[in-house]
Chains A and B, each alone.
Chain A
């Protein structure tokens, strides 16, 4: 399945509701710039390593472009393009003054030493430094990239352009990073759920049951915030296995276990559960927080959760999306639900530009405000036009990007 085509499926669905012409659709979908570069370095053993780096910049009508950098063997132009366009719509849904971009290097970082990883990163920045920048394109962490990688990017970019902390976000808190950035996506996911529950008159997180797939940064923080609010996380799985406790898992103990063991599997006092089984549990809320494409035509009919909270990017295939909607399962869409990460990245960038730091309470309060205002708009569009939250989110995004585009002129 091609990343760009999946994103375009949902885009086109919204475009049909809005009755856009084919030429306007093409104008909005077409990326601004696609860049492919050679990243050659000398490896520790003296051999030459050549990798391909990508940066796709999708739309810049609403501001500098923003999106992650991932280091993974499967990174290619199509995936980067799909994710870059998703960033355009995501930043528009939460109304950040950004456009969308995405990129990365086709490399397996687990086969690189830390010194090789640093050289690869610096070489990549050397190759793309003239198309990124604090007011052009601001990368961020993604799959297999972290705060340390962002620190190297900031340092390398600053060698060319002078001191530039705002060229990249997700930096270490000790190097112009923002408080609350690490937990931002997980926190935003829970804020999103709370907005929906309050609006739907469906109560609060307390007492509700949750199944969470994925226990990385997003899944583990989402579990912690749900647990803090009295939610019962009855099952959690990662790629190595899953655990289940109908009474609710002890999340802080599970986090400690996962940190030691490198997986949630084997957590004391819980039963084992397979990933596929977890998706079909009879819970109030299912939280896919790992890979894309896990809810498919094959299993969507058997999902028993009332709400799917899309913490991961594109966890639901278009076919599954239709099946869930037909069965009355509410899907809270990724482009709004997991926008907390890029929202706090925006706060980090704003703090860098202002040379002024915020405390964590301010970061949290501003994040809640962005998630709340985004929901108010998309819920209104969903009601008025009788469309799903996902289609409403795309309509809101297309409206904002489209207005900026026509006001600037073509």
Chain B
């Protein structure tokens, strides 16, 4: 894939407010990575590697459940961004990504990104702002979910057969 094509993907998918020159600066900081079909791109629990921009191909995202078995969270095709969190945290990867087809990535490592930030790269700061925006959206959705799950439960709700009996007596059969 030509650098100009990668630049277009960077400007449309990764960070919309970048000028051509700024996008080129980010593209130059990435390294191309090719993963064959069936191989893991990154593993859940591994130390954070960097941001993977999927340029070509399709991947599957899997996460281990409480019982230790991996569950598929879905598949996603190019162009898309994976592992953006690893630029701003040292937490290990939260999911495993496996290539379903042969895949091409542009990898922006944590080290490269740190170097751009240290050099006061406007492109890097714009990318950071975009990541912050994405994370803020996620936090807002999480808040809604937490409210939904805890609504009307000031004290821990009793569970089981007795609780079902109690709900019945205090609603339908209250008199």
A406 near B173: Cβ-Cβ < 8 Å:
no
B174 near A399: Cβ-Cβ < 8 Å:
yes
A133 to B162, CA, bound (A): 30
Chain B residues within 8 Å of A381, by CB: 175
A64 to B164, CA, bound (A): 27
B175 near A380: Cβ-Cβ < 8 Å:
yes
From A18, A23, A380, B161 is in contact (CB under 8 Å) with: A23
Does A20 make an interface contact (CB < 8 A)?
yes
A280 to B168, CA, bound (A): 42
A24 to B162, CA, bound (A): 7
B168 near A410: Cβ-Cβ < 8 Å:
no
With A406-B162, A410-B162 known as contacts, the answer to whether A18 contacts B173 (CB < 8 A) is yes
Within 8 A of B (CB), among A375-410: 377, 380-381, 395-396, 398-399, 402-403, 406, 410
Chain A residues within 8 Å of B175, by CB: 377, 380-381, 396, 399
A406 near B161: Cβ-Cβ < 8 Å:
no
Closest to A17 in B: B173
Does A45 make an interface contact (CB < 8 A)?
no
A399 to B175, CA, bound (A): 8
Does A21 make an interface contact (CB < 8 A)?
yes
B174 near A406: Cβ-Cβ < 8 Å:
no
Q: In which size bucket is the chain A interface? A: 10 to 19
Instruction: Summarize B's interface: helix, strand, loop or mixed.
Output: helix
Closest to B158 in A: A406
Interface size on B, residues (CB 8 A): 11
A21 to B169, CA, bound (A): 13
Closest to A376 in B: B175
Question: B142-175 interface mask toward A, CB cutoff 8 Å, 1 = contact, 0 = none?
Answer: 0000000000000000000110111011100111
A380 to B174, CA, bound (A): 11
A396 to B169, CA, bound (A): 10
From A377, A380, A403, A410, B169 is in contact (CB under 8 Å) with: A403
A406 to B169, CA, bound (A): 9
Q: Could you tell me the distance in whole angstroms from the C-beta of B48 to the nearest C-beta in chain A? A: 48
A20 to B167, CA, bound (A): 12
A402 near B174: Cβ-Cβ < 8 Å:
no
Chain B residues within 8 Å of A380, by CB: 175
A398 to B170, CA, bound (A): 12
Chain A residues within 8 Å of B173, by CB: 18, 395, 398-399
A16 to B11, CA, bound (A): 66
Chain B residues within 8 Å of A399, by CB: 169, 173-175
Chain B residues within 8 Å of A396, by CB: 175
From A21, A377, A395, B165 is in contact (CB under 8 Å) with: A21
Chain A residues within 8 Å of B174, by CB: 399
With A381-B175, A399-B175 known as contacts, the answer to whether A21 contacts B164 (CB < 8 A) is yes
Which A residues contact B (CB, under 8 angstroms)? 18-21, 23-24, 377, 380-381, 395-396, 398-399, 402-403, 406, 410
Which B residues contact A (CB, under 8 angstroms)? 161-162, 164-166, 168-170, 173-175
Give 20 new A-B contacts, CB below 8 A, not counting A402-B165, A403-B169.
A18-B168, A19-B168, A20-B165, A20-B168, A21-B164, A23-B161, A24-B162, A24-B165, A381-B175, A395-B173, A396-B175, A398-B173, A399-B169, A399-B173, A399-B174, A402-B169, A403-B166, A403-B170, A406-B165, A406-B169
19 chain-A/chain-B pairs, Cβ below 8 angstroms:
A18-B173, A19-B168, A20-B168, A21-B161, A21-B164, A21-B165, A24-B161, A24-B165, A377-B175, A380-B175, A395-B173, A396-B175, A399-B169, A399-B174, A399-B175, A402-B165, A402-B169, A406-B165, A410-B162
